[in-house]
Amino acid sequence: MTNPVTITAPEGLPFIEIEREFDAPVAAVFNAHRDPELVKRWLGPDGYEMRVERWDFEPQGGYRYLHVDPEGEEYAFNGTFHSVRENEFAVQTFEYEGFPDVVAVESIAFEDLGGGRTLLRIHSTYPSLAARDGMVQSNMEVGLRDGYARLDGVLAA
């Protein structure tokens, strides 16, 4: 049984809030976001291959990766890591290259719940309500749930 993902898109605001608890310490959850070899094992929907071209999880670092679906269709994403505080917090931009120039700013907080448990909180701000709604309608929920379920396995290993 995995912990549920809570996704909130407040009416009339260009935000998405995501929360998920993990049965693992903050340092392990943070490292699974920092280490590109671990990221490749969990990020994205089930059945998709992930190719990481760049993953520098550090201040002023950047990333670009592709998800490849079972039919070979590629979906590319890129962004910049603006702030990264070990085991605490990160700020990044997020852009799906299929919709260029729609860039979200995301804050990611890693909260120690005690007892070797972590709460991950993500706040995404989109440039418009239409852009936010497009992300919500893109089936992002499936990719988040699938990915976080796989992250549980990565953290347990």
Query: Encoding tokens for residue 25?
Result: 């310490």
Q: Is the pLDDT of residue 1 over 60?
A: no
Residue 150 and residue 117: Cα distance in Å, rounded? 17
pTM over 0.75: yes
Query: Encoding tokens for residue 127?
Result: 């440039």
- The CA-CA-CA angle for residues 111, 113, 117, to 5°, reads 100
Q: How far apart are the first and last CA of the chain?
A: 16
Q: Dump the DSSP string for 69-119.
A: -TT--EEEEEEEEEEEETTTEEEEEEEETTSTT-EEEEEEEEEEEETTEEE
pLDDT tens track for 96-150: 999 888 999 999 999 999 999 999 999 999 999 999 999 999 888 999 999 999 9
| % of residues, the chain, pLDDT over 70 | 99
Average of per-residue pLDDT values in the chain: 96
Mean pLDDT value across residues 78-83: 98
Q: So what's the architecture of 5-156 in CATH? A: 2-Layer Sandwich (3.30)
- φ, ψ of residue 146 in degrees (nearest 5): -60, -50
Residue with tokens 């497009």: 134
Residue 110 and residue 66: Cα distance in Å, rounded? 25
Up-side HSE of residue 5: CA atoms within 13 Å toward CB?
18
Q: Domain coordinates of the chain in residue numbers?
A: 5-156
Mean pLDDT value across residues 30-44: 97
